[in-house]
Amino acid sequence: MMHVYKYLILFIICLYFQTNTPQTFVKVLIEKTTHNQIEPMTWLFESLEEFTIRLPQKTEKAVKKNFKKLKITVIKNKIYLDGKYYRFNSIKLVPGKAPISVNKDLYDGNFIICRDPKTNAHVFMINQVEIEDYICSVLKTESWPGWPIEVNKAFAIASRSYVLAQVLIARKSKLQYHIKNTNHHQTYSGIHNEQDIKLAVQETKSIILGHNNEPILAMFDSCCGGVIPAHIEGFDFIKYPYLERKERCNYCKKIKMYSWKASFSHNDFKKTIQEKTPGLKKIKKIVTNTDKAGTVKNLVVHGHSDQEIYKIDARSMYSLFKKIKSFCYSVNHKSNRIIIDGYGFGHHLGLCQWGAREMIRKGYTYKDILRFYYPGAKFMKFKDNKEDKVA
């Protein structure tokens, strides 16, 4: 296992870049088997050049065979290589002169297939990739096509800070991977050829935002909707003070996704929330409880009788209704429909992507953006000890 933070050195940026910064690798969870999965899970690995299989032992015998194509199948948490049972708990695929694709998607770096040592209930497929290649891939999916390099520089630094914070969290929790490739963390989809994005990553190489000599958990969303994060209740701003922005972002006001509307029939709304309110037969009234920021804490649904009262928390509502885009909204009855009027797209914390885009349009720099959205965070560089290589 790699030890990124054992040797991580943080220091304030001095506008010069090191040319010999050693590589830092990130372990990205691409896919995993589900608990008690019955149907086989199949991953087809291919490359234009031979790639190597390495067993867990660190000996010359670890190199078992070279492949250009390999099918790995997981059946009831047992791993099979081209149909043959594999008795070890983990295996690594190391590329040769060309990258490896899995199920036709091309990725930089190595692949690790391993069982979850904590529960033995899952098999993970992990991409072990150099951090700058990872950031380059993330920006392709987390940014917007055609956006200027200056805004992508801000995104690169925020994403790099976020993943390094996740590395530290994962190491403390002794996870097999550092970060997931979904919007639960950051969306990651492998190799692309967007030159403007590559340039933004290259020109900000190794730069992160830090607080108390650690990388910040640089959260971001598409559009903040004008919510002041410092007014949000229930978030630990003592632990993450750089997310407690007290100034309202007005830069995203003219963006289409700044406001949204969702409409439901009473029956459709009732059917959806019955997962959380079993026994509810009729909706008489809905009361929305919000905090000072205007974000919803919970909904109180009143049924037919005075005794029928159900409380649904905001996160449950967000997961139940795909049309709900954020946590800032109001709920109203109109005729036979329930209308939800909302603001923003995301969780309202950290960098507002569309706000950042508008700041660039107004002449601000990527540093201005990051200082505004992460107050109190410092520009830093990270440097790893040369011993921090692939395990």
- Looking at the fold, whether 124 and 211 belong to one and the same domain comes out as yes
Distance CA 286, CA 335 (A): 14
State whether 183 and 332 are in the same domain.
no
In a domain, 2, yes or no: no
User: Could you give the 3-state DSSP secondary structure of residue 291?
Assistant: coil
Q: Are residues 157 and 305 in the same domain?
A: no
**Mean pLDDT within 32-60:** 84
279 or 296: which leads in pLDDT: 296
| CA atoms of 146 and 265, how far apart (whole Å) | 39
Confidence of residue 34 (pLDDT cuts 50, 70, 90): confident
Q: How confident is the model at residue 58 (pLDDT cuts 50, 70, 90)?
A: low
Strand partners, 69: 46
144-153 burial, b for 16+ CB within 10 Å, e for fewer? eeebebbbbb
Q: Identify whether residues 281 and 328 lie together within a single domain.
A: yes
If one counts every other C-beta atom within 10 angstroms of the C-beta of residue 9, the result is 11
Tokens 């209740």 label which residue? 233
Q: Residue 335's domain spans which residues?
A: 237-369
Backbone phi, psi, residue 20, to 5°: -120, 35
Residues 151 and 246 in one domain: no
Residues 168, 117 within the same domain: yes
Does residue 222 form part of some domain?
no
Give pairs for 139-146: CB < 8 Å, separation 24+.
139/194, 139/197, 139/200, 139/201, 140/189, 140/192, 140/194, 140/197, 141/187, 141/188, 141/189, 142/186, 142/187, 142/220, 142/353, 143/197, 143/353, 144/353, 144/357
**pLDDT at 111 > cutoff 80:** yes
248 in the same domain as 200: no
Q: How many domains does the chain have?
A: 2
Whether this model's pTM surpasses 0.75: yes
Interatomic CA distance for residues 242 and 377, integer angstroms: 6
